[in-house]
A and B are shown apart, each in its own frame.
Chain A
Amino acid sequence: MVISGIRLPLMTSLIVWAVIWEIVGHTDAGFILPPLSSIVGRVFEIVPTASFRDALLITGRAFLFGNLIAIGIGVPLGILLGRSVIADRLLLPWVNLFLSAPLSALVPVIMVLFGLGETTIVLTVVLFSMWIVVLNTRAGIRAISPSLVEMARSFGASRWQAFSRIYVWAALPEILAGIRLGMIRAVKGVVIGQLLVSVVGFGTLFEIYQSHFLMEHFWALLLVLFAFAFTLNELLAGLERRFAYYAASR
């Protein structure tokens, strides 16, 4: 958007929203939506506390571990589906089902099976993020141009050489895109998991703030979570763009 010649980057309009939030905060709606300034004040009050750090630690660990499992299982599964028609026809319906199904309904099942500790949160993360990793990896493998495959075979590459030298790298952009999308869904998964379990990590903090009607603390925690999710998304998008040129070589 251009105002009097200056090219305004997209995100600058957030300042406008921040001002509106501040104004609304001072009106009677302030109980539900406290002024932004006091919320930011709370952020600095909450973040250094031990309970926040513990919550962050649990969330971070569950997020990391969940993603590792999701990628550890998702990428090979995606490659398997990409390369073998049988596996594809057998497993693809399930992958698509889990991708579009409302997985939040499965969280109570995980809670009942694996208790309400970190395990459930890790599993929720895996459940939320794995399927997109599988699909993208599969798409990446299937999109490898046949000429690249023939070129590898013409130079006598063994199956493992062809795989590790060419397929993985050629499919890397899709795999990375899958991992990025998986991580975004994982952020939602780790929060939804904690909200539903409500006695672990941020779930506990939200529960305490909610039962004592502490709106400023609640919004402060939301602000921190949203900021984290957004920066993570931007970082990953940047990383992915760097690898995009691999696709061109297909």
Chain B
Amino acid sequence: MPISDLATALPRLREAPARRWRDVLIHPLVLRLLSFAAVFALWEYAGRIPLSPAFPTFLETLGGLGAIIADGSLFKAFLITLYPLVIGLAVSVLLGVGLGVLMGLHEPSEWLIAPVFIIAQAAPLAALIPILTFAYGIGLTAKIMTVCIMAMPVIVLNTLGAVRNTPKSLLEMGRSFLASRSQSIRLVILPAASPMIFAGLRLGCAAAFIGVILAELLITPTGIGDVISYNQSVADYPKMYAAILSIIAFSVLFIEALERIEVTLFRPEARA
């Protein structure tokens, strides 16, 4: 029984102030802050034991974060990491959505192309990274390709799924009003598919981040991957943890922003 019911069941008089206090406690924002504070405190305590010499406390990590921000290395690293990430993501989105829509509307191409992506979706593509290094060397191309192979399958399959199950009655409605093929695609199929396509883009984005970090840890250490592996090799753990925290925080914020853009630009009805 959720706690609020519990509150009303108690005798009214004695605990009036307590109930107000309890309502504050279970307010979502307060709880969220509480949970963050609890985890960081736990981390601080674990670091103090120390759990292991390689486990800095939360405050040390913040210190490390301050250091890598102050000397600009974090900012420089992010710029280097973002370069293959954004290009790879852009390619994956354009190609991925394009392929997904093509397959959704044209069955022979679905027959030909979909199985490759179905396997890619289930398979651990990270193992392909060394192959990309052989094929494209250790430069930017290999990293962009890594981002693409990680991000594309989920984008393609989500788009295909979205286009494939456009509500039948909407399609018939379009036809009954003599919508041409291109009108039907532009005005019915794509808008109806856009929520699911965007869900695919967010998943693709998360996969792209995994891709770029794997590329930087496996191909050659550049950007954030370099900050992480260099600090690991010189056992400067606060900076290492700070770099990892920053890329994780950044990816979560990036995906959150994508969701906000989607609602404002494409989904007026969600906003209303």
B147 CB to nearest A CB, Å = 11
Contact (Cβ within 8 A) B124 A192: yes
Q: A105-B213, A105-B247, A191-B124 are in contact. Are A1 and B108 (CB under 8 A)?
A: yes
Q: A16-B112, A86-B31, A113-B52 are in contact. Are A32 and B206 (CB under 8 A)?
A: no
A27 CB to nearest B CB, Å = 14
Interface set, chain A 77-106, CB cutoff 8 A to B: 85-86, 89-91, 93-94, 97, 100-106
Q: Looking at chain A, what size class is its interface with the partner chain?
A: 35 or more
Contact (Cβ within 8 A) A85 B111: no
Q: A10-B111, A225-B127 are in contact. Are A230 and B34 (CB under 8 A)?
A: no
Q: Looking at chain B, what size class is its interface with the partner chain?
A: 35 or more
Q: A32-B134, A102-B247, A218-B131 are in contact. Are A195 and B54 (CB under 8 A)?
A: no
B 89-131 binary contact with A (CB < 8 Å = 1; else 0): 0000000000000000001101111111011001111111111
Distance between Cα atoms of A102 and B115 in the complex (Å) = 26
Contact (Cβ within 8 A) A102 B248: yes
Distance between Cα atoms of A164 and B116 in the complex (Å) = 41
Contact (Cβ within 8 A) B210 A104: yes
Distance between Cα atoms of A196 and B57 in the complex (Å) = 25
Q: A101-B248, A218-B131 are in contact. Are A1 and B26 (CB under 8 A)?
A: no
Contact (Cβ within 8 A) B28 A89: yes
Distance between Cα atoms of A133 and B127 in the complex (Å) = 24
Of the candidates B112, B122, B130, B248, the one whose C-beta lies within 8 Å of that of A230 is B122
Contact (Cβ within 8 A) B213 A104: yes
Chain A residues at the B interface, C-beta cutoff of 8 Å: 1, 8, 10-14, 16-17, 31-32, 85-86, 89-91, 93-94, 97, 100-109, 112-113, 184, 187-188, 190-192, 195-196, 202, 206, 210, 213, 215, 218-219, 221-222, 225-226, 229-230, 232-233
B 232-272 binary contact with A (CB < 8 Å = 1; else 0): 10000100110010011001100100000000000000000
A167 CB to nearest B CB, Å = 15
Of the candidates A13, A91, A101, A190, the one whose C-beta lies within 8 Å of that of B111 is A13
Q: Which residue of B lies closest to A83 (CB)?
A: B2
| Residues in A neighbouring B112, C-beta threshold 8 A | 13, 16
| Residues in B neighbouring A31, C-beta threshold 8 A | 134
| Residues in B neighbouring A105, C-beta threshold 8 A | 213, 224, 228, 244, 247-248
| Residues in A neighbouring B130, C-beta threshold 8 A | 206, 210, 218
| Residues in A neighbouring B240, C-beta threshold 8 A | 108-109, 112
| Residues in A neighbouring B210, C-beta threshold 8 A | 102-104, 192
Distance between Cα atoms of A85 and B26 in the complex (Å) = 9
Distance between Cα atoms of A206 and B128 in the complex (Å) = 10
Q: Could you list 27 examples of A-B contacts with CB < 8 Å? A: A1-B107, A10-B114, A10-B118, A13-B111, A13-B113, A32-B135, A85-B26, A86-B3, A89-B28, A89-B35, A90-B35, A102-B206, A104-B217, A109-B240, A112-B232, A113-B54, A113-B55, A192-B126, A195-B129, A218-B130, A219-B131, A221-B127, A226-B119, A226-B124, A229-B122, A229-B123, A229-B124
Contact (Cβ within 8 A) B31 A89: yes
Contact (Cβ within 8 A) B124 A230: no
Contact (Cβ within 8 A) B26 A89: yes
Contact (Cβ within 8 A) B251 A8: no
| Residues in A neighbouring B255, C-beta threshold 8 A | 100
| Residues in A neighbouring B122, C-beta threshold 8 A | 184, 187, 226, 229-230, 232-233
